[in-house]
């Protein structure tokens, strides 16, 4: 089991209840694939470095988890098709 972080940006047009539901959806997706979630931090709405889909801000979320790396591609593929997630990145921690 290796430690990873996933940071994703949620579309700012998604309301607060929808954000919480999306965060729970992603956490459930991770745990369903064998991840152990250490913590999830909501960083809040921040200005983007460059516009994405004509949006100038986004809601940032950082989740730290432990997982077997073989299932990571499957998780990323499912996050890629979520319309409310504008961008995401997964980083392995040392």
The residues spanned by each domain of the chain are 2-93
For residue 9, what are its two tokens?
């940006």
pLDDT tens digits for range 61-79: 999 999 998 999 999 999 9
Q: What is the pLDDT of residue 57?
A: 97
Domain covering 2-93, topology: Alpha-Beta Plaits (3.30.70)
Flag residues of the chain having pLDDT under 50. none
Q: What is the pLDDT of residue 65?
A: 96
Q: Would strands 85-92 and 36-52 be described as parallel, antiparallel, or unpaired?
A: unpaired
Is residue 59 within 8 A of residue 40, CB to CB? The reply is no
Is residue 71 within 8 A of residue 33, CB to CB? The reply is yes
Q: What is the pLDDT of residue 41?
A: 97
With a threshold of 0.85, does the pTM exceed it? yes
Angstrom distance (rounded) from CA 94 to CA 81: 28
């Amino acid at each position: 089991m290796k430690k990873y972080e996933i940071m994703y940006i949620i579309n700012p047009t998604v309301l607060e209840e929808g954000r919480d539901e999306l965060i729970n959806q992603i956490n459930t997706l991770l745990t369903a694939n064998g991840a152990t979630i250490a913590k999830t931090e909501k960083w809040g709405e921040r200005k983007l470095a460059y516009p994405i889909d004509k949006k100038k801000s986004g809601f940032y979320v950082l989740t730290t988890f432990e997982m077997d790396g073989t299932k990571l591609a499957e998780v990323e593929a499912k996050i890629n098709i979520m319309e409310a997630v504008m961008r995401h990145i997964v980083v392995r921690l040392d």
